[in-house]
Structure 1
């Protein structure tokens, strides 16, 4: 296994409280500190309602913490304005979801191209870059199909290609194997592990699927908003 390189993400004492000004606030994330390095794949496990998705939203700059620090590539993102945060997220964070979230009215290659378009890039070069990504992920034969014609595993490969479009240093996946059968799920997690090692991406995966855990460099456990290193064989 390759040794992880530079630190991509460094979270320190993150808290997230929903409804802070209501009579019944909910603290979803409690004093979480975490770092992820380039080339490292980290799995975050835990029961439903433990705060995993809330933490992933914080790490991916989708929501801001109630308190604490989050640095991605040494940028303190909690201090960015909403516009600057959206721009930073588009360039530096790739998301992969259990439900794929492909746009059904676009072809496979167009689903990848749209990320370039959002970043202000278009033209023949973008189409070629999208095609190359699909080739690398072995889904290029479906480039001109619409998502409804794809299997679940194929959809997730397209979603990974889309997440990689802007070559972000950080990839976040929320239950990426949750909608897939065993063999498709194994193929997807192997692909994400390869992306981490060969492309030197920092990859964090929220998952209940214990069959994929041997691919992880670290397995963390979340319970009642608290994050900890899971003991071996737990």
Structure 2
């Protein structure tokens, strides 16, 4: 089975850290492909579309060489792209869908971006010193201690493949406007959310659970970047859910 991994707003495949390797180790019969959204990673010089549908189309072009069907595992804004993908392909092309701390237009604005996060996000946008900005992003998105080595790694990523202000704004606009279709794309999907998420309220995942009777699992205290905070917990949830 081929899995496509999608990261969130202004983040690229390198921001997964060791998580893809962990998945490959725990699921040796599966193939995991971390893919960059347009305007990030290897595509940082490209212009990001300002709609989730446009981003999804670019991502689909990138994976055209990978055998179908796909399974999708996606975090935050990547989850919007994955959900849009599942709703806009022929039946059977997407086998499994795992969405982590994502949101959609089915939830109110104050849940999609928690009020307490707005001042910190605005301050981050104004930070001129790149290392301080990347370290503060980690401190906002993670609830576990952020080692200096990780902050240095994220600083290096941004130095090598910087996300432009234009692309960041285009992605933010796409995320803010995203409204899924009404039709349930799959009989079941796995929704993973963190009660301790200081950016996106876990009730955004609960809204998808209630609408489509999907499977929701909540972590009690991890942050928005659940794959960094609690990768083993994610692995446990996938192991329990996949044989359904």
What is the TM-score with the length of structure 2 in the denominator? 0.29
Relative to its length, the structure with more strand (as a share) is 1
Higher relative contact order (CA 8 A, sep 6+): 1
Relative to its length, the structure with more helix (as a share) is 2
Give the structure with higher Rg (CA). 1
What is the TM-score with the length of structure 1 in the denominator? 0.29
